[in-house]
């Protein structure tokens, strides 16, 4: 059994090892982070456009998904006995498992078709749909951890329900809620499939979300499949940046969560 566990970790370790060893040579050049795409043969190409694009896409998606997700999660936890709450829970669980490529098709039909061109906004709508169920379920979990006593003392003081939920319970649950939001951000940063037909990708440095936009995962996907060594090297570099970013956000969220558990112990 231990042998099988080690067997399981071998490929997983290899993924990290190759990403670091093949990506490091690209990442060590500072212009990799300051320059955008350069045609094959011209040295000094970088992924600045992809990094900024990912930031804008995920930022817009977070603005859409996080507030709605948190309020939805508070509802599901605070009114857990409502039949509607269990429907929301089921729908969120199913939505988490929905293929991201299908969500990309949906965002294409919803945003790209009416305005007749690809845009960062369409990409962020797709990412927001991916993030929403994660935020709802983690916020619900965090709120449900708060002891009844806090809620009951708020109600006993005559506070209305919305103030109890939003000004008393939610701040107490904040670390758990933030953890969930961070996990959703990490997931959205790494997704390629929903961006293929929405933000499409761009070789130029763009900050206008009504235009087609590049993103880190798109860079890895597109460059890796091209027959040019220099672009393949950049793909490995972009993959390394992506892995560091996603794992960094994950570790950060773990640290926040550990504080939550310690706080909950004190209450």
Partner 1 sequence: MAAAVESASTAMPPARRVPDRFRTVSALVAAAAPAILVVIVVILFQQAAPAVRHFGLGFLTGTEWNPVTDMFGALPAIFGTVSTAFLALVLAVPVGVAVAVILAEQGQTTLRGILGTGIELLAAIPSVVYGIWALYVLAPWSYQHLELPISDRFGSIGWLSQPGARSLFNASLVLAVMILPTLSAISREVIRAVPRGLKENAVALGATWWETTWRVILPSARAGIFGATILALGRALGETIAVTMVIGNRYAIPPSIFSPAYTLASVIANEFNEATGTLYPAALIELGLVLILVTLVVNIVALLLVRSTSREASRAA
Tell me if 28 contacts partner 1 by CB under 8 A.
Answer: no
Q: Which residues contact 75 (CB under 8 A, 6 or more apart)?
A: 85, 88
Choosing from 24, 40, 109, 157, the residue that interacts with partner 1 (CB under 8 A) is 109
DSSP output for 53-87: HHHHHHHHHHHHHHHHHHHHHHHHHHTTTSHHHHH
Give the shortest CB-53-to-partner 1 separation in angstroms. Answer: 15
CB-wise, 124 or 165, nearer to partner 1?
165
- Give the number of C-alpha atoms closer than 13 A to the C-alpha of residue 9, restricted to the C-beta side: 5
Tell me if 66 contacts partner 1 by CB under 8 A.
Answer: no
Choosing from 24, 40, 63, 90, the residue that interacts with partner 1 (CB under 8 A) is 90
Which residues within the stretch 44-63 sit at the binding site for partner 1 (CB under 8 A)?
none
Phi, psi values for residue 164, rounded to 5°: -60, -50
Tell me if 182 contacts partner 1 by CB under 8 A.
Answer: no
Taking the C-alpha atoms of residue 19 and residue 12, their distance in angstroms, rounded to an integer, is: 11
- Using the CB atoms, write b or e for 80-90: b if 16+ within 10 Å: eeeeebeebbe
Choosing from 131, 172, 186, 213, the residue that interacts with partner 1 (CB under 8 A) is 186
Tell me if 40 contacts partner 1 by CB under 8 A.
Answer: no
Which residues within the stretch 127-166 sit at the binding site for partner 1 (CB under 8 A)?
129, 132-133, 136, 144, 148, 151-152, 155, 160-162, 165-166
Which range binds partner 1 by CB under 8 A, 25-33, 38-46, 49-57, 126-134? 126-134
CB-wise, 207 or 228, nearer to partner 1?
228
Residues 184, 127 contacting (CB under 8 angstroms): no
Residues 170, 179 contacting (CB under 8 angstroms): no
Tell me if 259 contacts partner 1 by CB under 8 A.
Answer: no
Which range binds partner 1 by CB under 8 A, 33-41, 45-53, 204-212, 233-241? 233-241
Tell me if 117 contacts partner 1 by CB under 8 A.
Answer: no
CA distances from 31 to 26, 44, 178 (A): 9, 6, 33
């Amino acid at each position: 059994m231990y042998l099988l566990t080690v067997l399981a970790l071998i490929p997983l370790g290899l993924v990290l090892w190759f990403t670091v060893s093949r990506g490091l040579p690209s990442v060590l050049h500072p212009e990799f982070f300051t320059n955008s795409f350069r045609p094959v043969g011209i040295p000094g190409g970088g992924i600045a456009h992809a990094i900024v694009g990912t930031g804008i896409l995920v930022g817009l998606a977070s603005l859409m998904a996080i507030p709605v997700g948190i309020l939805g999660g508070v509802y599901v936890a605070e009114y857990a006995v409502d039949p509607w709450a269990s429907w929301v829970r089921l729908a969120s669980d199913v939505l988490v498992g929905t293929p991201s490529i299908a969500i990309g098709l949906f965002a294409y039909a919803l945003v790209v078709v009416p305005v007749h061109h690809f845009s960062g906004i369409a990409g962020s709508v797709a990412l927001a749909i991916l993030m929403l169920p994660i935020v709802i379920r983690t916020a619900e979990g965090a709120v449900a951890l708060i002891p009844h006593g806090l809620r009951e003392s708020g109600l006993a003081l005559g506070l209305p329900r919305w103030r109890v939920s939003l000004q008393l319970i939610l701040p107490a649950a904040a670390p758990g809620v933030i953890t969930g939001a961070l996990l959703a951000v990490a997931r959205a940063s790494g997704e390629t499939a929903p961006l293929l037909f929405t933000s499409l990708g761009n070789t130029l440095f763009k900050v206008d979300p009504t235009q087609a936009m590049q993103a880190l995962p798109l860079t890895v996907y597109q460059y890796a499949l091209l027959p040019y060594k220099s672009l393949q090297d950049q793909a490995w570099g972009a993959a390394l940046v992506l892995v560091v970013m996603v794992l960094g956000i994950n570790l950060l969220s773990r640290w926040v969560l550990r504080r939550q558990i310690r706080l909950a112990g004190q209450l």
